[in-house]
Amino acid sequence: MADEKKKLGYWVAFEGSDGSGKTTLAKAVHEAMVARGRSVTAIAQPSQGPIGQLLRTILRRDVKWERAFTGEVSALPHWQTMSLLFAADRKDQYEREILPKLERHRYVLSDRGPLSNLIYQTVKAVDGIDVNNLPELTRCYQNALNWLQQVEGSVGRPDLTFVLLLSPELAAERRAQRGEGVAAYDDTAMQRRIAALYAQGSKLTFALTMDSLMEMDATQSVSDLVDECIAKMDDVFDV
């Protein structure tokens, strides 16, 4: 499937913690490429499909999850349930939207990709474990990573992934400036762990057998980041 995809076009994902600027950058790169006459289209994950809509409802905390007998209520289902939903949505979007668009465009730009699932759900898997209990933390982390590798193994992957790196403090400031409601993963401690894992992105790509990843300093201007992205795509895809 990967070879077929490469003959058609290239899937490029933009990744980063919440508030890193990935959505802004993905949009700016799309606009710049259109202005330059490039054949390009844009998508987002979660998708606008049925599974993606369910995920967006969950991420807005519009539903609650109650545990039988105990009555314990949580804002999110179990991390494995979430990871399966994200993978199912991406698989559906890959077959329903990404592949058809790659038949008509040289580039498909995606706001998020499989690396988000790997990082966010790994962090969620170790949530609540004593950070001082390093053996238990390491064991749970590795088990979650191994499980997520299997989940994502059969789902299409991007040809190139841009990872925006930003401190948790600055990312939190940016999220506050947006004036949006509290989202599912806005917890400060969780965002710190998410940012730390994104900083190890190049070490995690083996888990998803990604073809290429580029880490970027998210404190740069959007115009500079756009130029870097397009230059990298031209280099990687031999334009």
The CATH number covering residue 194 comes to: 3.40.50.300
0.85 surpassed by pTM: yes
Query: Going by C-beta distance under 8 Å and a sequence separation of 6 or more, which residues neighbour residue 56?
Result: 46
SS3 165: strand
For residue 2, which phi and psi values (nearest 5 degrees)? -60, -40
**Which position has the higher pLDDT, 45 or 154?**
45
Strand 65-66 and strand 73-74: the pairing is antiparallel
Write down the pLDDT at residue 5.
43
Which among 209, 20, 21, 14 is positioned nearest to 107, based on CA atoms?
14
Task: Pick the closest to residue 22 from 225, 213, 233 (CA basis).
Answer: 225
Answer yes or no: are the C-beta atoms of 64 and 73 closer than 8 Å: yes
In order of 8, 115, 186, the CA distances from 178 in angstroms are 37, 24, 13
Give the residue numbers spanning the domain of 176: 2-236
Which spans in the chain are helix H?
2-8, 22-35, 50-59, 79-93, 99-102, 114-125, 134-152, 168-178, 188-198, 201-208, 222-236
Is it the case that residue 91 has pLDDT exceeding 70? yes
Res 23 pLDDT > 80: yes
Give yes or no for residue 210 having a pLDDT over 60: no
How many angstroms separate the CA atoms of 184 and 200, rounded?
Answer: 23
Residue 148 has pLDDT above 90, yes or no: no
Percent with pLDDT over 70 in the chain: 90
Length, in residues, of the chain: 239
Highest mean pLDDT among 29-33, 75-79, 115-119: 29-33
Number of domains in the chain: 1
Q: CB neighbours of 17 closer than 8 A, spacing ≥ 6?
A: 166, 168, 171, 191, 194, 195, 198
Q: Answer yes or no: are the C-beta atoms of 127 and 179 closer than 8 Å.
A: no
